[in-house]
Amino acid sequence: MSAQAQMRALLDQLMGTARDGDETRQRVKFTDERVCKSHLLNCCPHDILSGTRMDLGECAKTHDLALRADYEIASKERDLFFELDAVDHLESFIADCDRRTELAKKRLVETQDEISAEVAEKAETVHELNEEIGKLLAKAEQLGAEGNVDEAQKVLQEVEKVRSRKRDAEEEYRNSMPASSFQQQKLRVCEVCSAYLGLHDNDRRLADHFGGKLHLGFIQIREKLEALKKTVLEKQEKRNQDRLKRREEREKEERMKKRTKSRSRERSREHRRSSSRDRRRRRSRSSSRERRRSSRSRSRDRERRRRHRSRSHSKGGRHSHEPSSRHKSSRDRDRSSRDRSRERSRKRGSSERRQDSRDQNGRTDSRRAEESDT
Range among 93-107, 194-208, 317-331, 337-351 with highest mean pLDDT value: 93-107
Average pLDDT of every residue of the chain: 77
pTM (2 d.p.)? 0.57
State residue 96 phi and psi, 5-degree precision: -65, -40
State the pLDDT at residue 365.
Answer: 60
State the pLDDT at residue 225.
Answer: 92
d(CA 93, CA 359): 121
Nearby residues of 215 by Cβ (< 8 Å), 6 or more positions away: 190, 192, 193, 195, 209
State the pLDDT at residue 178.
Answer: 61
Q: Does the structure show a pLDDT above 60 at 1? A: no
- Confidence class of residue 184 from pLDDT cuts 50, 70 and 90? low
Q: What percent of the chain has pLDDT over 90?
A: 7
Q: What percent of the chain has pLDDT over 70?
A: 72
212-237 per-position pLDDT tens digit:
888 888 988 999 999 999 998 988 88
d(CA 131, CA 123): 13
Q: Is the separation of the CB atoms in 73 and 235 below 8 Å? A: no
Residue 54 or 326, more confident: 54
Lowest-pLDDT range, 38-47, 90-99, 184-193? 184-193
Burial of 72 (0-12, 13-18, 19+ CB in 10 A): middle
Q: Does the structure show a pLDDT above 60 at 179? A: no
Mean pLDDT confidence for 241-268: 86
281-339 per-position pLDDT tens digit:
877 777 777 777 777 777 777 777 777 777 776 665 554 444 444 444 455 555 566 66
